[in-house]
């Protein structure tokens, strides 16, 4: 199972004002829905990968995860409790990337040169495979 998409915008933190956070979550859900069409929701233990590409003054990586999880609830999974594993990365856009080793959606984000967030959801592995 694989579901991936790019959020072509600077992420908002869980600490953002409620109204702004709601708009952000609606935007995230709309971007996900563009590629989610016709796929049944996941219903097992899931692994979320987040790659936040920033330009200046980045948000804390741990604070951007929850609004994204909430935005995908009811679309990619019934409840965010289905996410059992989270892998999160924050990288400066001016960094060096081996584009041949990156997923196409992440390459698209890198090459735009604009702040964005790459999201991938896969089936979770057994714990020992991560250790």
Sign of CA dihedral 119, 87, 14, 56: negative
Q: How confident is the model at residue 13 (pLDDT cuts 50, 70, 90)?
A: confident
Q: CB pairs under 8 A, 24+ apart, for 106-113?
A: 106/6, 106/51, 108/6, 109/6, 109/8, 109/51, 109/53, 110/53, 112/8
Q: How confident is the model at residue 1 (pLDDT cuts 50, 70, 90)?
A: low
Q: Is the pLDDT of residue 16 over 90?
A: no
Domains of the chain as residue ranges with CATH: 2-129 (3.30.1330.70)
Rounded Cα gap, residues 61 and 63, in angstroms = 5
Reduced to 3 states (helix: H, G, I; strand: E, B; else coil), residue 39 is coil
Q: What is the mean pLDDT of residues 52-69?
A: 95
Reduced to 3 states (helix: H, G, I; strand: E, B; else coil), residue 64 is helix
pLDDT of the residue at 2: 79
């Amino acid at each position: 199972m694989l579901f991936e998409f790019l959020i072509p915008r600077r992420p908002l933190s869980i600490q953002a004002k409620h109204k702004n956070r709601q708009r952000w979550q609606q935007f995230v859900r709309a971007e996900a829905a563009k590629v989610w069409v016709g796929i049944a929701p996941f219903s097992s233990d899931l692994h979320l990968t987040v790659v936040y590409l920033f330009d200046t003054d980045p948000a804390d990586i741990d604070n951007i995860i929850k609004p994204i999880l909430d935005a995908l609830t009811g679309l990619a999974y019934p409840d965010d409790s289905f996410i059992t594993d989270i892998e999160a990365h924050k990288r400066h856009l001016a960094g060096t990337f081996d584009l041949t080793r990156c997923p196409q959606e992440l390459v698209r984000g890198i090459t735009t040169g604009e702040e964005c967030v790459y999201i991938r959801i896969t089936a979770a592995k057994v714990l020992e495979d991560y250790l």
